[in-house]
Chain A
Amino acid sequence: MRLLEYQAKQRFAASGIPVPQGRLARTSAEAAAAARDLGTVAIKAQVPIGGRGKAGGIAVAHTPEEAEREAARILAMDIRGYPVSSVWCETGLDIAAELYLGITLDRDRRRLAVIFSAAGGMEIEQVAADTPERIAKLWPDPFAGPHPFELRRLAFAGLAGSETPGPHTPGLVGQLAAIGERLFALALALDATTCEINPLALTSEGKLVAADGKVEIDPNAEVRQKNLLGEIPDEDQMAELGGEQLEREARRRGLTYVHLDGEVGVIGNGAGLTMNTVDLVKQQGGDPANFLDIGGGAGADKVRNALEMVLLDPKVRGVFINVFGGITRGDEVARGVIAARDELHITKPLVVRMTGTMEEEGRRLLEDAGIVPAKSPTEAARTIVALTRET
């Protein structure tokens, strides 16, 4: 789950990381009022997705009238599938330089990495690709966290070769070390897999201020971050890419679903197997409508819920259910499929391929209910592609 910019900044501020003064506005009148109090403001669309600046979701307003007009325009926008329901109005900064400070999970090192560069801003990925020596990294001990000397070393390394600001800009390294320590503590407290300040603005007075904030919370930690989640209204919780209504509905149902825009519905257990099922449908000349992973240990209710979800997509002409039982039991899957078919009066073709734990019980249940289970996944894919062509 991704926090919106203003939510991230509120947490930065509470942790002692300087942020510009700002206020949230849900209407253009609220934006005008904010501009009256704050003076010249940047008006920024609050959407959980990048590229809003390029899409026209950020404007500078010098007067309350201008703020009202720009806020009205931005609040009417839809940015890559996310309707803008609020804007963050904040005082403009007198920026002398844009730096980068971020924390993210490094899978190879199996730790959080702290990343710092004097070359912050929109092109940071390009900087990393072209001049990796300008990017400094630190992998703190997961139990002890970063020591101040490590953060100072990171700051000096990221500033090396840079003149203004440079390693000897007064007060800069001390500020960086302090912000780095607070950002790391915040990442741990929020179970964040990404906690990024880009740009980290150096003002003409020599102060560092977080001009933007991106915080991504580990979905596995949502249970213990419930308080945090409780503050976020439902409409803002569209953390995943693609704002399609179906994906939103799937999240509401607690299902791992990705919309793919074809005709063959796909349900599998385990991400790898389900991805392979999507690949199989493609290989047989079909067009997968979705990816839906019911995960390990799914019971009959989850299977029924999954089938109902897939069939909400009006383009779906048939469904391929591919289950290899380990912790998932075949009899549970069969019961779910039969319940869904009978209760939801499904008439579109269903092809079930099932093997593994409790496979025989599951097959017997299906056969008794008139659903013939397929033997191999390839055969099942061929069958469902043929059946969805005919209908």
Chain B
Amino acid sequence: MSVLVDRDSRVLVQGITGREGRFHTGQMRAFGTNVVAGVSPGKGGSDVDGVPVFDTVADAVVATGADVSGVFVPPAFAADAIMESAAALPLAVCITEGIPVLDMARAREFVERQGARLLGPNCPGLVTPEQCKVGIIPNHINVPGPVGIVGRSGTLTYEVIQSLSQAGMGQSTSVGIGGDPILGLGFTDVLKLFAADGETRAVVLIGEIGGSDEEHAATWIRNSGFDRPVVAFISGRTAPEGKRMGHAGAIISGNTGTAQSKIDALQTAGAAIADTIEDVVRLMAAGLERRSVAAS
């Protein structure tokens, strides 16, 4: 099993005629993702490497039964694209970086009222190995297995996927939630999905300084009795206070949002804290072993 996407997912790409949309549609198809449609207003009726292009998401859904959208639309139009997607299908995955935050406040509200789901924006997307990839996570690093991965930083999430794969620990699904201040799914949302997935036997959580989503996830782990091993890795430990590090999220304000506050919260919740990527691998191997001993 897996979370959010699997081999039956029918994927649509918004912004398929743009540079990134076209390139990554190719990458997704090479991975094995079933890309059934593209959307690009005004270019309906054409195709991109054999994928039919529609003017609207609604048209594409009616014609192809698409149920997941990958959004590769430029920042000024991306919030609208997210809403268009949420009005027509259940899951939008927005890769676009640089969307004005007040646009996102509205888009996020709209998605919620539609009862749809949003992953991102400014995220790498998600992968269920050998089944489906939506987004930009490199193809060759993913191996199927028992570990669920959820991370804020895209590239750091790739590091963890690759290191675990090389050490023989595959993934159920790897999910990048993104680094913007206003996001769709958060850590807790994804942890709940992993909790409901029988094949996810352990979880890696990759956080970073700023915001308080890691702290909320720690509270949920503690209160829900989530019983699978969790390894947590927090980046930005050596960031000087008050220095801005690029992501709107990566701002240290007061005591909340510091690396230490996140590490303390997760440790209290029973997570194993990794200092390095190598530690993630070591702690995950130990966690999985403990779990299989307990199960036998």
CB within 8 Å of B: which residues of A? Answer: 105, 107-108, 110-112, 125, 141-143, 187-188, 191, 193, 218-221, 223-224, 240-242, 256, 258, 260, 268-276, 278-280, 282-283, 288, 291, 293, 295-297, 323-327, 355-357, 359, 377-378
CB distance B155 to A270 under 8 Å?
yes
Judge whether A260 and B155 touch: CB under 8 Å: no
A274 to B109, CA, bound (A): 31
Q: Could you give, for residues 157-183 of chain B, a 1 whenever the CB lies within 8 Å of some chain A CB and a 0 otherwise?
A: 111001000000000000000010111
Interchain nearest-CB distance for B129 vs A (Å): 16
Given contacts A142-B105, A355-B162, contact A293 B245 (CB under 8 A): yes
The one of B100, B105, B162 that contacts A221, using a Cβ cutoff of 8 Å: B100
Which residues in B have their C-beta under 8 angstroms from that of A224? Answer: 76, 100
With A112-B102, A242-B243, A280-B276 given, name 10 new contacts (CB 8 A). A193-B181, A220-B100, A223-B75, A241-B242, A260-B240, A270-B153, A272-B152, A275-B245, A276-B235, A279-B236
Do residues B102 and A223 form an inter-chain contact, with CB atoms below 8 A? Answer: no
- For residue A107, which residues in chain B have a CB less than 8 angstroms away from its CB? 181-182, 211-213, 249
Q: Give 7 CB contacts A-B under 8 Å.
A: A110-B183, A268-B155, A269-B155, A271-B247, A291-B243, A324-B158, A356-B141
Contact at A191–B100, with CB atoms within 8 Å? yes
Q: Is B275 an interface residue (CB 8 A)?
A: yes
The answer on a CB contact under 8 Å between B138 and A258 is no
A235 CB to nearest chain B CB (Å): 20
Let me know if B214 is at the binding interface, CB within 8 A.
no
Hey, what's the 0/1 contact readout for B194-221 against A, CB within 8 Å counting as 1? 0000000000001011011100100000
With an 8 A cutoff between CB atoms, is B262 at the interface?
no
Residue B237 at the chain A interface, CB threshold 8 Å: yes
Query: Would you call B153 and A273 a contact (CB within 8 A)?
Result: yes
Instruction: Name which residue of chain B comes closest to A141, CB basis.
Output: B109
Measured in the bound complex, the distance between the Cα atoms of B141 and A212 in whole Å is 53
Contact B206 A279 (CB under 8 A): no
**In the bound complex, CA of A191 to CA of B104 (Å):** 11
Q: Which residues of A contact B153 (CB under 8 A)?
A: 270-273, 275-276
Given known pairs A271-B179, A324-B159, the reply for A111 and B246 (CB within 8 Å) is no
Bound Cα distance from A293 to B99, whole angstroms = 18
What chain B residues lie within 8 Å of A356 (beta carbons)? 138, 141, 155, 158
Contact A283 B154 (CB under 8 A): no
B159 closest partner in A (C-beta): A324
Given the interface contacts A241-B242, A283-B276, does A377 sit within 8 Å of B159 by beta carbon? yes
- Whether the Cβ atoms of B138 and A377 lie closer than 8 Å is no
B179 touches A326 (CB 8 A): no
Distance between Cα atoms of A141 and B108 in the complex (Å): 12
B186 to A: closest C-beta gap in Å: 9
A272 adjacent to B154 (CB under 8 Å): yes
A258: which B residues are within 8 A, CB to CB?
243-246
B284: chain A residues at CB < 8 Å are none
Q: Are B99 and A220 in contact (CB under 8 A)?
A: yes
A220 to B240, CA, bound (A): 24
- B residues bordering A, Cβ < 8 Å? 20, 24, 27, 75-76, 95, 97-102, 105-106, 108-109, 124, 136-138, 141, 151-159, 162, 179, 181-183, 206, 208-209, 211-213, 216, 235-240, 242-250, 254, 275-278
Select the residue from A143, A295, A326 with max chain B CB neighbours within 10 A.
Answer: A326
A142 to B79 alpha-carbon distance, docked (Å): 13
In the bound complex, what is the Cα–Cα distance between A298 and B27 (angstroms)?
Answer: 18
B33 CB to closest chain A CB, in angstroms? 15
Point out the residues of chain B lying under 8 angstroms from A274, CB to CB: 245-246
Q: Is A143 in contact with B106, judged by CB distance below 8 angstroms?
A: yes
Chain B positions within 8 Å of A270 at CB level: 153-156, 179
Q: Are A326 and B158 in contact (CB under 8 A)?
A: yes
The answer to whether B101 and A193 touch across the interface, beta carbons within 8 angstroms, is yes
What is the bound-complex CA distance between A293 and B109, given in angstroms? 30
The reply to whether B235 and A275 contact each other, CB–CB distance below 8 Å, is: yes
Residue from A111, A125, A296 in contact with B97 in the complex, judged by beta carbons closer than 8 Å: A296
Is the Cβ of A220 less than 8 Å from the Cβ of B98?
yes
Chain A residues with CB below 8 A from B76, complex form? 223-224
A107 to B157, CA, bound (A): 22
Contacts A221-B100, A378-B278 given: A110-B182 contact, CB under 8 Å?
Answer: yes
- Is B101 within 8 A of A220, CB to CB? yes
In the bound assembly, the distance between CA atoms of A256 and B101 in angstroms comes to 18
Chain B residues, CB < 8 A from A223: 75-76
A326 close to B124 (CB less than 8 A): yes
B109 touches A143 (CB 8 A): yes
Q: CA of A296 to CA of B141 in the docked complex: distance in angstroms?
A: 18
- Minimal beta-carbon separation of B81 from chain A (angstroms): 15
Q: Which residues of A contact B156 (CB under 8 A)?
A: 270, 272-273, 276, 324
Which among A142, A218, A325 is the interface contact of B109 at CB below 8 angstroms?
A142
Contacts of A325 in B (CB 8 A): 138
A324 to B213, CA, bound (A): 24
Q: In the complex, what residues of A have CB within 8 A of residue B155's CB? A: 268-270, 272-273, 323-324, 326, 356
**Which residue of A is nearest B141, CB measured?**
A356
Q: A residues within 8 A CB of B141?
A: 356
Q: Is the CB of A271 within 8 A of B276?
A: no
Residues of chain B with a CB closer than 8 A to A220's CB: 75, 98-101, 248
Q: Which residue of A lies closest to B242 (CB)?
A: A241
Closest to A219 in B: B248
Q: How far is the CB of B134 from chain A (nearest CB, A)?
A: 13
Given contacts A220-B99, A326-B136, A326-B155, is CB(A271)–CB(B212) below 8 Å? no
A241 with B243, Cβ < 8 A, contacts A105-B181, A111-B109, A191-B102 known: yes
Which residues of B are found within 8 Å of A187, using beta-carbon distances?
102
Also in contact, A271 and B246, with CB within 8 A (given A218-B100, A378-B276): yes
Given A112-B105, A218-B102, A326-B138: A275 in contact with B208 (beta carbons within 8 A): yes
With A107-B181, A295-B97 in contact, is A272–B102 under 8 Å at CB?
A: no
Given contacts A191-B100, A327-B20, A279 and B242 within 8 Å (CB-CB): no
User: Is B136 touching A279 in the complex (CB atoms < 8 A)?
Assistant: no
The answer to whether A326 and B154 touch (CB under 8 A), given A107-B182, A143-B106, is yes
- Assess the A272–B206 pair: CB atoms within 8 A: yes
